Structure 1
Amino acid sequence: MQDNYLAKWLNNELTEAELAEFKKSEAYATYHRIREVSERLEAPHFDREQALMAVKNKRTLQETKVVQLNPFKKFLKVAAAISVLITASYFYLNTLGEKVTTQYAEHKEVVLPDNSEVILNADSQISYNSKNWESQRNVELDGEAFFKVAKGKRFTVTTDAGTVSVLGTQFNVEHRKDFFEVTCFEGLVSVLFKGQEKRLPAGTSLVAIKGALVDTHSPNTEVPSWVNSESSFKSIPLRYVLDEFERQHNIKVVTENVDLDQLYTGTFSNMDAELALQSISVPSRIKFKFEGNKVLFYAENTP
């Protein structure tokens, strides 16, 4: 790659052939990401007219030879672009965060910078900033995760539905569409929900469905059931149970004439799909059958 490709690229002056060659270089991907960040920043203020006037005055006083204005304009443009590029590089590298995602039928274990542990359930995502972790232990969650928090400063889990804060404990947080649940297994958990703080001691839970708190049961295990390859529910609408089956087994679920608001209490296997289907259908008094790569749940009286 030629040395002047960066300056020409910043000015959009590369030919198609030169651009193609530049994109093949190892540095292009990094420059491209940095340029995307820089385009969202405001360039430092630069008074070009004042700078030009200073140059003219200096040139007059020193009686130097005449310099064409056009090259100087180009120099100023490149200099300003490189200044923004350097600023954006610093911004980009210092705000770079970590992100961990799971797909359907997948779990992951994550060790955070302070040795706190996170077990991520299927179809979930966490993100955090490892650069300033010591000063701010904050994890953003979309989905479900079980946390074993090392003692230290306040540890916060942020979701769109609510915020969970602890100092050092074990707890589970689930945030799905219209569903929010926090269960404390050890220590004390503070949950900020709709502007109000709820304190959960060990062995208690908070469950909200469609933004409203509902009565829930006390867990009788030391970890959430899904960590041990099972999904357990206590008086939860069937629609959320079927959604969880779909996530755990990566099997598309279709329903016909099924009351999805009926409450389900029970447990199904996250390892054996056939056994899970029986565990869901029998207490719910519905039937099921496979249709290609999906399973159909239907009422017993469906024609």
Structure 2
Amino acid sequence: MQENYLAKWLNNELPEEEVAQFKESKEYASYKKLRDVTDRLTAPEFDMDKAWNNLNNRKSLQESKVIKLNPFKKYLSIAAAVVLVFTASYFYYANLNEKVYTQYAERAEVVLPDASEIQLNAGSKISYSKKKWDSKRDVALDGEAFFKVAKGKRFTVTTDNGTVTVLGTQFNVENRKDYFEVACYEGLVSVQHNNEEIKLPAGNALIVVKGEMRTMEIPKNGEPSWLSNESSFKSIPLKFVLDEFKRQFNMEISTQNIDTDQLFTGSFSNTDRDLALKSISAPSQIKFKLEGKTVLFYAEAP
């Protein structure tokens, strides 16, 4: 029998007399069932060369006993291995979390499977399981997002600074390095931070800066200022204000002779760069120098 006998049959290239002869063989039923399964299988893109290289590398590290197979059994084993690879890849990709990213100077809106809505601020990302959403409404957040949660089962926002749990409400979460803020605009929010649970009714916010926690009042039934293209701060270290400017305008920031721990209260426009620079520098009594995509904030020596 020719070495490419199976390949010709799979490609419908065998002469009719050879097809008839093949159908009389005991291996035909197994081959036909295998081809029917592979015809129905839909798989994502897969790097077959890489998979075979990995398989050959593992094979070279093991001592194998060589068993001579007849042609039909030989190709059946190979085809079964290919089906196994495709099937594993299909289920792997089907269970991957949905992920949404925003770059600097970019925002995004996400509608979840239950019609809950997420507004994602610049330089942020979320992930969630679309497949398991009905049983587990859980969103992982790195950055800042505003949530409008449809009523239903428990809804959880997981961050590396703490966990926020609600049933149906509107709230904002910001999770940055050394900065964590949860603001409740409607309903009730439960926040787990450092093994402590804090209940936030509408009109209240929790802020944690470098491990120091405080609460403050905010407008009820409102929304975070960044949704209106403005970044607002109340007694927040200047460092975090400059970081937010960097995210909103995608610019490089440097400082000279400035105490970035000084507290800043104020706001700046997220759409007008020059106005934003003035809004930051004037209250802080500092100056700035703009060169292309780089801004130097500095204070003159006394």
TM-score by length of 1: 0.75
Cα separation, 2, equivalents of 1:215 and 1:93: 42
CA contact (8 A) 1:102 1:125 kept: yes
Q: Which one-letter code corresponds to 2:219 in the other structure? A: N
> What pairs with 1:1-303 in structure 2 (closer than 5 Å)?
30-32=45-47, 68-69=68-69, 78=78, 81-82=81-82, 84-210=84-210, 212-220=211-219, 222-301=222-301
Aligned length: 253
What is residue 17 of structure 2 aligned with on the other side?
none
Cα separation, 2, equivalents of 1:28 and 1:167: 36
Q: Any idea what SS the aligned residue of 1:297 has? A: strand
Change (3 A) 1:147 1:28: closer
Cα separation, 2, equivalents of 1:181 and 1:225: 14
TM-score by length of 2: 0.75
CA-based RMSD of the aligned residues comes to 3.0
Encode CA deviations 1:170-206: one digit per residue, 9 max, x unaligned. 0000111111111111100011111221111111111
Cα separation, 2, equivalents of 1:247 and 1:296: 16
Q: Any idea what SS the aligned residue of 1:276 has? A: helix
| % identical aligned pairs | 60
Encode CA deviations 1:8-45: one digit per residue, 9 max, x unaligned. xxxxxxxxxxxxxxxxxxx9971229x87xx8xxxxxx
Cα separation, 1, equivalents of 2:250 and 2:69: 65
Change (3 A) 1:223 1:86: same
Q: Any idea what SS the aligned residue of 2:217 has? A: coil
CA contact (8 A) 1:206 1:213 kept: no
Give, in angstroms, the shift of residue 71 of structure 1.
6.3
Which piece of structure 1 moves more, 248-257 or 150-159? 248-257
Q: Any idea what SS the aligned residue of 1:261 has? A: coil
CA contact (8 A) 2:44 2:89 kept: no
Cα separation, 2, equivalents of 1:217 and 1:196: 18
Cα separation, 2, equivalents of 1:187 and 1:233: 23
Q: Any idea what SS the aligned residue of 1:283 has? A: helix
CA contact (8 A) 1:285 1:300 kept: no
State the 4+ residue runs in structure 1 displaced beyond 2 angstroms: 68-84, 213-217
CA contact (8 A) 1:108 1:121 kept: yes
CA contact (8 A) 1:183 1:205 kept: yes
Encode CA deviations 1:66-122: one digit per residue, 9 max, x unaligned. xx3486995586366336425413532430321111111111111111110110000
Which piece of structure 1 moves more, 115-124 or 291-300? 291-300
CA contact (8 A) 2:152 2:167 kept: yes
Structure 2 gap ranges (5+): 8-41, 55-63
Q: Which one-letter code corresponds to 1:254 in the other structure? A: S
CA contact (8 A) 1:216 1:234 kept: no
CA contact (8 A) 1:252 1:293 kept: yes
Cα separation, 1, equivalents of 2:75 and 2:284: 74
Q: Which one-letter code corresponds to 2:233 in the other structure? A: F
CA contact (8 A) 2:257 2:300 kept: no
Change (3 A) 1:28 1:84: closer
